């Protein structure tokens, strides 16, 4: 497997820091800020490891997973997100990602995900306490947003919610369980 690591994240600062951190560890890393550049560089380099942000300039990084795997079926993809939800985690794994990690994330967790290549740990203990109403709302919004490929307007219509209200809810960090 090609040991190059491709970092796909639309935040230029985070992208540059992550690439630099990987290079300091002696790993060959390249960074891109958008899906088109990601496809092109994935094809040119045949990167064996990919770190993919879930939200790329307002569109879903999930849509990129099958395309990246079509370019290199042996690549390992770790999805990072600032807005973790159960629905998107499940979808990422179903599409072929080996791990789904919530930001902020330590470089060790990312590297461990690649080394373990075991995928998410679905054997984690399940809490006896039910999810809060706020957390259930967050999960539902994330599921509908995913069904609409990250389109805020379509999601707001599906939820019968004003677009600005949805944007306000999405700008907040996920609610704890």
Q: Per-residue pLDDT tens for 60-81?
A: 888 899 999 999 999 999 999 8
Each residue's pLDDT tens digit, 53-62? 988 877 788 8
Pick 123 or 59 by higher pLDDT.
59
Q: In the prediction, which pLDDT does 126 show?
A: 46
CA distance between the termini of the chain: 39
Q: How many residues does the chain have?
A: 177
Q: For residue 127, name the pLDDT band (cuts at 50, 70, 90).
A: very low
pLDDT reading at 124 higher than 50: no
Average pLDDT score over residue span 114-128: 55
Alpha helices in the chain (DSSP H): 12-24, 35-45, 64-71, 86-95, 107-116, 133-147, 152-159, 163-171
CA 96 remoteness from chain centre: 12
Local confidence band at 174 (pLDDT 50, 70, 90 cut-offs) = low
| Average pLDDT of the chain to the nearest whole number | 83
| Residue 43 · residue 6 · CB < 8 Å | no
Average pLDDT on 25-47 reads: 93
**pLDDT at 13 > cutoff 70:** yes
At residue 17, φ and ψ (nearest 5 deg) are: -65, -45
Which residues, in sequence order, are CB contacts of 116 under 8 Å at separation 6+? 99
In order of their start, the domains of the chain are: 5-116 (3.40.50.2300), 133-171 (1.10.10.60)
Higher-confidence residue: 124 or 33? 33
pLDDT tens, residue by residue, 93-106: 899 999 988 877 88
Entry pTM: 0.70
More confident residue, 40 or 120: 40
Q: How far apart are CA 72 and CA 152, in angstroms?
A: 31
Q: How far apart are CA 109 and CA 124, in angstroms?
A: 17
């Amino acid at each position: 497997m090609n040991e190059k690591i491709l970092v796909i994240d639309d935040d230029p600062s985070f992208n540059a820091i992550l690439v630099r951190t990987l290079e300091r560890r002696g790993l060959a890393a390249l960074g891109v800020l958008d899906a088109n550049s990601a496809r092109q560089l994935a094809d040119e380099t045949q990167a064996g490891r990919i770190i993919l942000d879930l939200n790329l300039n307002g569109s879903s990084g999930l849509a990129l997973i099958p395309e990246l795997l079509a370019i290199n079926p042996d690549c390992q993809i770790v999805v990072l997100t600032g807005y973790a939800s159960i629905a998107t985690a499940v979808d990422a794994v179903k599409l072929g990602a080996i791990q789904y990690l919530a930001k902020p994330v330590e470089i060790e967790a990312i590297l461990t995900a690649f080394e373990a290549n075991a995928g998410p740990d679905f054997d984690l203990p399940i809490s006896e306490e039910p999810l809060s109403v706020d957390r259930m709302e967050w999960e539902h919004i994330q599921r509908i947003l995913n069904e609409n490929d990250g389109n805020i307007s379509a999601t707001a219509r599906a939820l019968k919610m004003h677009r600005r209200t949805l944007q306000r809810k999405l700008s907040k960090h996920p609610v704890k369980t």
